[in-house]
Structure 1
Amino acid sequence: MRVLVTDAEYGSLDLEADVLGAAGHELLTARCRTAADVIGAAQDVDAVIVQYAPISAEVLAALPRLRLVSRYGVGVDVVDLEAARARGVWVCNVPDYGTVEVALHAVAMLSALLRNLAGHGRHVREGRWDYRLGGPLRRPGGLTLGVVGLGRIGRMTMERAAPWFGDVVGHDPYLPDAAWPDGVERLGLEDLFARSHAVTLHLPLTAETQGLVGPDLLARMPAGSYLVNTARGGLVQPDAVLQALEDGRLAGVALDVLPEEPPPAGHALLGHPGALVTPHVAWYSQESEVELRRTAAENVVVWARTGRPVHWVVEGR
């Protein structure tokens, strides 16, 4: 097999080369950003491993030899799944490489907001030693936590954070009642935002969830609430979040992911004292990166050997 890594931010790809080479496959590399880049680089390859490059319907139509797409990560929103399904192209992901890391990051961000750690640290660095400068802090036992998406990461985040809060409510239209966690009240999305003093997002980016958290949902939250997003950047409208910070609807927001990465220089959200932004690092540990890269390559190896990859999202033919 000829296998192309369309794009990756990991430096050397020796790990992928070792996994594929041991099975007798050839590894090619590129630095694709656009659909045209992928089309130009992926002629005559059997499989691609992709991080952020778009695998659109146009790309799939232009690459008739391509039979499998393996994504570095859980989300597969860079791939046109319907077009892949129509062409019989397998689409694979790595479903659980960073569950602990992302849940830990979400809980850490939530904790930092509740205690205004960024604000207090900034004041100390400025030479001001006064706990009152950070504004009023509330005891979380009197607050409600809202968890949107109760898959692996959302459930782990909920389980770690729930003991701090007075109530926990959740929203996940795909989780059956039989699997719903005990002690979590099930609500519709609008009701969850209206009830929650802190909301953490753990859901995929789809056509339905694109820009989900905007002015309407934010306006439903109690004044002085908090929002955490370690899932997908496109779930949240940054300008709406900025406005909610300015008008006091949000006391703080913590974002590990943004619709555009890196964000435009000088965006007002980046300099706002109520915003904590990290560089899409929630997934990362040394161990999770190795697992992610190895599994993305093993998807190709197992498919080539057996005709069926282990971690598939779209079944090919």
Structure 2
Amino acid sequence: MGQPVVVFIDPEELDVEPGARLLRDAGFEVRVVGSRDPGEIAAAAHDAEALIVGYAPVDAALLDRLPAVRMLATMSAGYDMVDTAEARRRGLWVSNLPHAATEDVAVHALAATLSLVRHLPRADATVRGGGWNTEFGELPCRASELTLGLVGFGRIARALARMAGPVFGRVAAFDPHADPAGWPPEVDRLGLDELVGASDVLSLHTPLTPQTHGLADGDLLARMRPGSFLVNVSRGELVDADALVRALDSGHLAGAALDVFPVEPPPADDPLRTHPRIRLSPHSAFLTDASQRAYVCAPAENVIAWHRTGRPLTPVVDPTLEGAVS
């Protein structure tokens, strides 16, 4: 009997070798497909037992072409690239990486927030243009007089709340799925409408689901406080891009910071890429030297654990609990 096969698909900028080494040492044959093309993936993974998934969509059509696959391990905390309902129906395991870059994304979100609040890009441009603080224009607000609002209150948002608490006057959050018993007393728990209306900075930390797709639409943005800011380090599709541009053009919102986009990378003529009130980063909130290794080693460890024990370390779809049948 041959070696079990695992395939990395669409790892993008990540160096998969540390994870591949773990898998080879555990007895796997390892292949890499640097593409989201279903045909290329199906050709390389036709006999694979497990896929380690970057951002390539894994849907029913692709799974139909991969009859040997029993395990899908994502290289991220998010797993919206996998059709989890279809995986559950087929009795497949799905795992994610809930801890790989919690600190890194939270620090990035805080840095982006403070850059907006302190008007750092404008300050930089003023000095580079030969000006000084007398030409600074509208003055920043004091952070201790502002409210930071978090939409979603999972691991990253909770880490951000701990970091931001000593800086901001108030930290509040909305999350209908969070356990009230574990809610920290220093973070106000609000409904979504109340949070949107109370926040000077609204930071998005919710997974992408059919219910959250386009969450930050024209209606929500209109309910934000005049002169407030939007930060998104979660998924680009949470934000209605056209509505955001309109809110910025009208002056209703003072600015936004985006690490994620509906199309990545955004086209050269994308208003999100060219708007002067949007601060951009290239989906890099998760990237540090430590997280680079974790993003390829942790999914490999999930696959190894599943192969040895029948269960990955961090499952998000457990077919033994869901009653799925193959």
Normalised by the size of structure 1, how large is the TM-score?
0.96
- Corresponding residue for 1:314? 317
Q: Which residue among 209, 214, 218 is the counterpart of 2:212?
A: 209
Range moving further from structure 2, 79-88 or 173-182: 173-182
> How far does residue 170 in structure 1 lie from its aligned partner after superposition?
1.0
Corresponding position: 1:291 with 2:291: no
> How far does residue 302 in structure 1 lie from its aligned partner after superposition?
1.0
- Corresponding residue for 2:121? 118
Taking every aligned residue pair, what percent have the same amino acid on both sides? 43
- Corresponding residue for 1:233? 236
Contact 1:119 1:273 in 2 (8 A): no
Deviations 1:223-268 (A, max 9, x none): 1001111111111122211111111111110111111110011222
Range moving further from structure 2, 13-22 or 264-273: 264-273
Unaligned runs of 5+ in 2: 321-326
1:136 and 1:25, CA in 2 relative to 1: closer, same or farther beyond 3 A? same
- Corresponding residue for 2:147? 144
User: Within 2, Cα distance between the matches of 1:86 and 1:247?
Assistant: 47
User: Within 2, Cα distance between the matches of 1:295 and 1:234?
Assistant: 26
Contact 1:257 1:279 in 2 (8 A): yes
User: Within 1, Cα distance between the matches of 2:14 and 2:195?
Assistant: 42
User: Within 1, Cα distance between the matches of 2:20 and 2:107?
Assistant: 31
Corresponding position: 1:94 with 2:90: no
> How far does residue 134 in structure 1 lie from its aligned partner after superposition?
4.4
Corresponding position: 1:279 with 2:272: no
1:239 and 1:99, CA in 2 relative to 1: closer, same or farther beyond 3 A? same
Superposition RMSD in Å: 1.5
User: Within 1, Cα distance between the matches of 2:239 and 2:273?
Assistant: 15
1:209 and 1:196, CA in 2 relative to 1: closer, same or farther beyond 3 A? same
- Corresponding residue for 2:193? 190
Normalised by the size of structure 2, how large is the TM-score?
0.93
Q: Which residue among 125, 128, 133 is the counterpart of 2:131?
A: 128
Corresponding position: 1:77 with 2:77: no
Once superposed, which parts of structure 1, at least 4 consecutive aligned residues long, lie more than 6 Å away? none
Deviations 1:177-236 (A, max 9, x none): 111110322222122111111111111111111111011100001110011111111111
> How far does residue 297 in structure 1 lie from its aligned partner after superposition?
0.8
User: Within 2, Cα distance between the matches of 1:248 and 1:54?
Assistant: 37
User: Within 1, Cα distance between the matches of 2:116 and 2:218?
Assistant: 21
- Corresponding residue for 1:5? 8
User: Within 1, Cα distance between the matches of 2:68 and 2:317?
Assistant: 17
User: Within 1, Cα distance between the matches of 2:161 and 2:47?
Assistant: 46
Range moving further from structure 2, 19-28 or 40-49: 40-49
Range moving further from structure 2, 188-197 or 29-38: 29-38
Contact 2:126 2:135 in 1 (8 A): no
Corresponding position: 1:35 with 2:15: no
